[in-house]
Chain A
């Protein structure tokens, strides 16, 4: 007698899934695959410089970044502000970072056209696919929400004007707020923006967390040293318009649950829940429509981006390139480096963090009123930042120029080595100009505009920014002398190669720039001393230029290349 084979009884989850018209087995398989893909996300992998074989995955680093951002924010605010302001800032940061994370990881967590290649020929019903994608998305939002709000929810209980009720109230407010932000974004993208955000937007937003951490870190230090107590006063005299922001509504609910809150404002939480209840069915419908368009026979949700066609040989670069470069070798190098800086996402991702410090300090100075005119003010607290911003421009140069050595397509560099480049000094000059004119000149112009607006004194702003540009040029020549030894993009990117060998040289350049910053700080006190100082900086720049030409001729000259 043969034993009959019986299928095991379905679990409660399987029964629930079946009642929703979802097949349990493919649902579980897809969900597991998506969770695995979350750990391997590409955009954050670039930002966190994680490799596929690393033990700590990009998702781990991003979760850690969120926790770090929230703990720094809490440490700065704790004991200084009231519960309302504490909740307002933390909820605002949480909603902002969740929104940017969703946009950055849109493909990984919402909609990926490449799924069609993998899942399209499998017998996976649309409803099952949609359910797996949506569950993965909600899991991702919950993870971000937990990472961004764990510290504020618990530390908030320790505030003078909060009690144990702060924890559940804050947790509910954070969840409602983040789900609402994500829902609105999804609705906007699936309805108006062709289904997904552009690559450039995603890349820029991938840095939001890093820049926010820098602002929190430097801003935190500024708060601790601020003799004007701006943070406490800002929290005390909050402008009226702040009350109209969605995080302020939720913060008002959180604050109302405290013992001195004068009655819990349940209606705010209720309105938030209702808004989500209305929004999410719409979102699910729009997302399902987008999924349906991915099926064979449907219209693709989006088209794959293609690179623009190159210009014809012999006509490289536009007017700007011709104005800035002299010899053909210089022009070719300028065009090549400019094109790669524009196209190569890895190169940009490796190079841009160095600019973050300058931008963070500038923004910090702007929003905390510490950008006084050093020609006029003698207060160290308000004149250090505008001087430091200028000299920090020297800091990114070694990193960016060093990064030009590396490329995923390094094997193609034989083209450069075999090309008839007769003047390699000019070629190296083109590399320097690409970095200084394409990346750092816009930053100097931005500073000029900011200083001119804040100081209301264009000659002072111009003089200040001119020194910044001299620093950039000088640091560029110094970096050439210290780093340029071969054609760009000719080395393989290997672990440690990006920063390891560069650290001592970059440290020396930064230290020299900071020493000059100290001289600058004292030189602005009189017109004569400032004129002498500017002349000395110009002389230093000329000397560095002559020195770098000599070094490049020796180390990267024609004869050396055949060795």
Chain B
């Protein structure tokens, strides 16, 4: 088909048809490559600066200095969460002491990790909520479970189920603390 033919009505319809055909192929390719796109969905964590190390260590032993913590900015507080998430080992007391210090901030941050993190980051965020041992984590986990079921994320759903069972059992046996009234 030469340029003259392309200027006709049929030629123009052919051009638009060709554009649609190319778009169809591209759309099918993108749909089939979800794994490629999911690689970009992950959280990046800030490294712990030396100035915050004493607080992070204190949080790991559940001996957080409330006055020192109160002086931290929101960003600095979140670095303590980032540090816990990025560590290879699991410091079991840190989540509870952080959530006791600023429940709203850390519970919302963990919820964000469940929504926007990689698969391993989601699992670790659920672990954070489990170790936080707060009653306020229950509605967050229930909402996350519904979301996870709809998205067909079976591993995450199983992990949330397990955590929910654990927290609900503990909640009925021992009165779990509600941290919603914690002041910043």
The interface of chain A, by Cβ under 8 A from chain B, is 32, 35-36, 39, 55-57, 59-60, 63-64, 67, 71, 74-75, 78-80, 82-83, 143, 146-147, 150-151, 153-161, 224, 227, 229, 232-233, 236, 258-261, 379
Is A154 a contact partner of B6 (Cβ separation < 8 A)? no
The residue that B19 contacts in the complex, of A63, A83, A224, with Cβ under 8 A, is A63
Question: B45 → chain A, closest Cβ, in Å?
Answer: 10
B87 in the interface (beta carbon within 8 A): no
A60 and B15 in contact, given A32-B9, A229-B112 (Cβ under 8 angstroms): yes
Alpha-carbon distance between A260 and B154 when the two chains are bound, in angstroms = 12
Alpha-carbon distance between A260 and B24 when the two chains are bound, in angstroms = 27
Alpha-carbon distance between A298 and B104 when the two chains are bound, in angstroms = 69
Q: Which residues of B contact A57 (CB under 8 A)?
A: 12
Is B20 a contact partner of A146 (Cβ separation < 8 A)? yes
Please give 15 more A-B residue pairs, beta carbons under 8 A apart, in addition to A63-B16, A160-B34, A232-B112: A35-B9, A36-B9, A39-B12, A55-B7, A60-B19, A75-B30, A78-B37, A79-B38, A80-B116, A82-B151, A159-B34, A232-B41, A259-B152, A260-B151, A379-B75
A260 and B150 in contact, given A56-B15, A60-B16, A71-B23 (Cβ under 8 angstroms): yes
Interface of A is mostly: helix
B3 in the interface (beta carbon within 8 A): yes
Q: Which residues of A contact B43 (CB under 8 A)?
A: 229
Question: A505 → chain B, closest Cβ, in Å?
Answer: 34
B31 in the interface (beta carbon within 8 A): yes
Interface of B is mostly: helix
The residue that B115 contacts in the complex, of A32, A151, A236, with Cβ under 8 A, is A236
Is B112 a contact partner of A233 (Cβ separation < 8 A)? yes
Question: A84 → chain B, closest Cβ, in Å?
Answer: 8
The interface of chain B, by Cβ under 8 A from chain A, is 3, 6-7, 9, 12, 15-16, 19-20, 23-24, 26-28, 30-34, 37-38, 40-41, 43-44, 75, 112, 115-116, 147, 149-153
Residue of B nearest to A166 (CB): B31
Alpha-carbon distance between A13 and B38 when the two chains are bound, in angstroms = 50
Q: Which residues of B contact A259 (CB under 8 A)?
A: 152
Alpha-carbon distance between A158 and B36 when the two chains are bound, in angstroms = 12
Query: Can you list the 5 inter-chain pairs with the closest CB atoms, starting with the nearest?
Result: A158-B31, A229-B116, A154-B27, A79-B37, A232-B116
Alpha-carbon distance between A75 and B31 when the two chains are bound, in angstroms = 10
Q: Which residues of B contact A160 (CB under 8 A)?
A: 34, 151-153
Is B19 a contact partner of A67 (Cβ separation < 8 A)? yes
Is B9 a contact partner of A80 (Cβ separation < 8 A)? no
The residue that A158 contacts in the complex, of B9, B34, B116, with Cβ under 8 A, is B34
The residue that B27 contacts in the complex, of A79, A155, A227, A261, with Cβ under 8 A, is A155
Q: Which residues of A contact B38 (CB under 8 A)?
A: 79
Question: B173 → chain A, closest Cβ, in Å?
Answer: 31
Alpha-carbon distance between A233 and B117 when the two chains are bound, in angstroms = 11
Alpha-carbon distance between A143 and B17 when the two chains are bound, in angstroms = 11
Question: A146 → chain B, closest Cβ, in Å?
Answer: 7
Alpha-carbon distance between A64 and B19 when the two chains are bound, in angstroms = 8
23 contacts between A and B (CB under 8 A): A39-B12, A71-B23, A71-B27, A79-B38, A80-B41, A80-B116, A82-B147, A82-B150, A82-B151, A150-B24, A150-B27, A155-B27, A155-B30, A156-B31, A158-B30, A158-B33, A160-B151, A160-B152, A161-B151, A224-B40, A229-B43, A233-B115, A233-B116
